[in-house]
Structure 1
Amino acid sequence: MGLRLVLAEDNYLVREGVRRLLESRPGLDVVACCGNLDELLAAVDSESPDVLVTDIRMPPGGMDEGIQAAQRLRTTHPEVGVVVLSQFTDPSYALALLDGGTAGRAYLLKERVEDVDDIVAAIEAVAGGGSVIDPRVVETLVANKARAEESALAELTPRELDVLREMAEGKNNAAIAETLFLSTRSVEKVIHSIFLKLGIAWEDSAHRRVKAVIMYLGEQD
């Protein structure tokens, strides 16, 4: 069975170009194309796609509708993977996308569309519950403290790396505990230790987990 895709992009020429690129690959079927947020949500409801590929900005507001859609689908269609295409390397957008969990979410810069292999790999990853963050966004996130953060990652214990790896797969504390045969309380302690070593223990609680995961993913290239 191939992957069913909904494509959302308000620029007609860009939308058609991406559609043709995707449909040139066997196993990918673009079942709907949309130009705004309302059309996107309606298409997901009616077509039940495997993956939504969406621009970050579109009508009605031209702000962050792609991220809004991804956040809403966490509740309405949790089985649908989302690939957000963006021109912004600002990590705040990627952090917002992953704020509700990393599973089934990808954030790629639009320049990656030129290499169809990159976008296809992201589509396949989120369809399987994985996550992808554009390497340039990761570089921007860690640019100011690159040496310190790399050192901190190197200081993580094997157990801490195991937990961080499970976090990167989008698992909550209970699921991590079950996978690693630990108590939930033990997982909480390990995660707190990870945050301390990565220097993000005192940051906004909604973003600490996401930042730790992004740093981990950045080390996997």
Structure 2
Amino acid sequence: MRVMLADDAVLFREGVARILEADGFEVVGRAGDAATLLAMVAADPPDVAIIDLRMPPGFGDEGIEAAVRIRKQAPKVGLLLMSQYVEVHHALRLMDDFDGGVGYLLKDRVSDLAAFGVDVRRVAAGEVIIDPELVSRLVARRRTQDPLERLSARERAVLELMAQGRSNAALSAELHLSPKTVEGHVRSIFTKLDLAPDEGENRRVLAVLRFLRQA
């Protein structure tokens, strides 16, 4: 699997490159800013681009803006945004603006070598990955009104894992529930969140969006 890296911190960038190469990835490009990354992707699109959210020159949202342009120019490239901090508005923008094949991880996630490699492969496969720490902090925030209050504790647990990109099979294994039970919980979540059957597969994404916005 071919990967490009964009991060202005040389030590972090090279460290990630070594981790990925040791896990069987081919690192085909390294960049210190968004402009260089965009040029590399245009010349030879990778399977996944791993992008620092804040990069030169402004250290604002250059990473997401680069991801937007890459998705328009090379829609098959998976996009994994990395950040030092939890920035909820950026995570929500990723969920809103991108239809799969995207992720938002904290840089600390790299220290879990096995999980990081799995996350990169999941993004390449078209899944949506949200850092568990981000989901946990969202859940911990107080709410004045909770549109998710109709969900049972088990359904909320299922939806929280869905927000981390888990498939039904992964939910079954992690929660020690049968596949049919998981399917029943997922259907109940859709019903309680008023997501009509004609929403199709988009119902899963819409349910996660509501969870992230209101958590």
TM-score by length of 2: 0.70
Deviation at 1:62, TM superposition (A): 0.9
| Distance across 2 between alignment mates of 1:22 and 1:101 | 24
CA root-mean-square deviation:
3.2
> In the alignment, what sits opposite 2:55?
58
- AA of the residue aligned to 1:136: E
User: Residues 150 and 192 of structure 2 are in contact (CA less than 8 Å); yes or no, is this contact kept in structure 1?
Assistant: no
- AA of the residue aligned to 2:115: D
1:105 and 2:106 correspond:
no
TM-score by length of 1: 0.68
Deviation at 1:81, TM superposition (A): 0.3
> In the alignment, what sits opposite 2:3?
5
| Of 43-52 and 94-103, the range deviating more from structure 2 | 94-103
Q: 1:96 to 1:74 in 2, by over 3 A?
A: same
1:142 and 2:142 correspond:
no
Instruction: Describe how 1:72-83 pairs up with structure 2 within 5 A.
Output: 72-83=69-80
Deviation at 1:86, TM superposition (A): 0.6
- AA of the residue aligned to 2:150: A
Q: 1:120 to 1:109 in 2, by over 3 A?
A: same
1:36 and 2:33 correspond:
yes
Deviation at 1:31, TM superposition (A): 0.1
Instruction: Describe how 1:123-134 pairs up with structure 2 within 5 A.
Output: 123-134=120-131
Structure 2, unaligned runs of 5 or more:
167-189, 197-205
- AA of the residue aligned to 2:77: V
User: Residues 52 and 82 of structure 1 are in contact (CA less than 8 Å); yes or no, is this contact kept in structure 2?
Assistant: yes
> In the alignment, what sits opposite 2:18?
20
| Distance across 1 between alignment mates of 2:34 and 2:135 | 27
Deviation at 1:145, TM superposition (A): 4.7
Structure 1, unaligned runs of 5 or more:
170-188, 196-207
SS of 1:152 mapped into structure 2: coil
The percent of aligned pairs where both chains have the same amino acid is: 38
User: Residues 34 and 63 of structure 2 are in contact (CA less than 8 Å); yes or no, is this contact kept in structure 1?
Assistant: yes
- Deviation by residue 1:40-72 (Cα, 9 ceiling, x = unmatched): 101111121000011111112211111111222
User: Residues 5 and 49 of structure 1 are in contact (CA less than 8 Å); yes or no, is this contact kept in structure 2?
Assistant: yes
> In the alignment, what sits opposite 1:193?
194
| Distance across 2 between alignment mates of 1:11 and 1:134 | 21
Q: How many residues align?
A: 174
| Distance across 1 between alignment mates of 2:95 and 2:106 | 15
SS of 1:82 mapped into structure 2: strand
- AA of the residue aligned to 1:24: A
